[in-house]
């Protein structure tokens, strides 16, 4: 085309300092689990940059737990855990959890989380194109939820979907998930309702939005919402209830 020319352009990618990334999850009847990594730069391959040999302590009403440096995969949350505590979290025994991390290079990270109440699934309605999950937290002061649904065919997961719900300003006691064709050929449906905190709700929303902006260059990038000081990520306590429904 007239007036157009082709030439190579050198793009300088700025060097950004790596951030400490924390994902810490606490829930009753399970040990505290933590993923501790460093962020990737734009020049890096997308690989997990695990941080090893850090001092990780979790303090609560009953004392201080020392997290062990281990490695295993949590298939239900699709994450890799590299620090865990042998102590099991007991419902009703704690009112807070404080996280303190010191890395080998001297960097430190802190975070804290409060306790929220248990949630109970009262009823599940399996309609043809949507699922309704009724819960018991009509007037709870922290009404943030994550609903996760999976169907199974021949004992294997076939379809999964999750949605977030902010019911903090309503008296609603149900979560509705649009979901088409989830019954076709399925043996059963498993419903998990997570009662989560506002900080975790905002973190998950921002991660979803950041991923969408990464895929679609027309969308504005969004910063990850975090409750971690000295790094980015989430350290949170949640509760959940699970119901399994046989379809045939």
**Which of 92, 115, 138 is the C-terminal boundary of a domain?**
115
* C-alpha torsion sign, points 128, 129, 135, 138: negative
Q: Are residues 125 and 108 in the same domain?
A: no
Average of per-residue pLDDT values in the chain: 88
Q: Are residues 27 and 97 in the same domain?
A: yes
Q: Are residues 24 and 70 in the same domain?
A: yes
Q: Are residues 69 and 31 in the same domain?
A: yes
pLDDT at 174 over 50: yes
Neighbour count for residue 136 (Cβ, 10 Å): 14
**Which of 68, 92, 115 is the C-terminal boundary of a domain?**
115
Give the CA-trace dihedral at 207, 48, 96, 136, to 10 degrees: 50
Total count of domains within the chain: 2
Q: Are residues 125 and 185 in the same domain?
A: yes
pTM (predicted TM-score): 0.87
Q: Are residues 106 and 132 in the same domain?
A: no
pLDDT at 220 over 80: no
In a domain, 204, yes or no: no
Q: What angle do CA 128, 144, 220 make, to 5 degrees?
A: 90
Q: pLDDT tens-digit profile of 111-150?
A: 999 999 999 999 999 999 999 999 999 878 889 999 999 9
pLDDT given at position 9: 55
Q: What angle do CA 231, 234, 240 make, to 5 degrees?
A: 170
Q: Name the band, by pLDDT with cuts 50, 70 and 90, for residue 64.
A: very high
In a domain, 209, yes or no: no
Local structure of 133: helix, strand or coil? strand
In a domain, 208, yes or no: no
pLDDT given at position 133: 98
- Note down the domain range covering 151: 121-197+240-246
In a domain, 1, yes or no: no
**Which of 115, 142, 171 is the C-terminal boundary of a domain?**
115
State the CATH number of the domain containing residue 148. Answer: 2.60.40.10
d(C-alpha 74, C-alpha 71), whole Å: 10
In a domain, 223, yes or no: no
Q: Are residues 24 and 109 in the same domain?
A: yes
d(C-alpha 12, C-alpha 187), whole Å: 54
Q: Fill in the DSSP letter of residue 187.
A: S
Strand arrangement, sheet containing 174-178: 121-126, 130-135, 174-178
Q: Are residues 69 and 38 in the same domain?
A: yes
């Amino acid at each position: 085309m007239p007036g157009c020319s082709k030439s190579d352009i050198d793009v300088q990618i700025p060097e950004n300092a790596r951030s400490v990334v924390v994902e810490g999850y606490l829930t009753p009847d399970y040990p505290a689990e933590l993923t501790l990594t460093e962020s990737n730069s734009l020049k890096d391959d997308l690989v997990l940059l695990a941080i090893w040999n850090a001092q990780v302590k979790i303090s609560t009403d009953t004392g201080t737990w020392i997290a062990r440096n281990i490695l295993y995969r949590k298939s239900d949350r699709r994450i890799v855990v590299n620090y865990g505590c042998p102590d099991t979290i007991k419902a009703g025994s704690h009112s807070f959890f404080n996280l303190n991390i010191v890395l080998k290079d001297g960097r430190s990270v802190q975070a804290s989380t409060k306790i929220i109440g248990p949630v109970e699934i009262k009823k599940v309605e399996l309609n043809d194109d949507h699922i309704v999950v009724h819960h018991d937290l009509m007037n709870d002061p922290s009404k943030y939820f994550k609903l996760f649904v999976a169907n199974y065919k021949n004992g294997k997961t076939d379809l999964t979907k999750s949605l977030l719900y902010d019911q903090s300003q309503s008296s609603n006691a149900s979560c509705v998930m649009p979901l088409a064709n989830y019954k076709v050929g399925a043996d059963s449906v498993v419903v998990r309702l997570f009662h989560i905190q506002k900080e975790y709700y905002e973190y998950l929303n921002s991660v979803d939005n950041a991923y969408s902006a990464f895929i679609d260059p027309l969308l504005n990038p969004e910063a990850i919402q975090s409750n971690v000081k000295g790094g980015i990520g989430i350290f949170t306590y949640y509760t959940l209830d699970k119901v399994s429904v046989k379809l045939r």
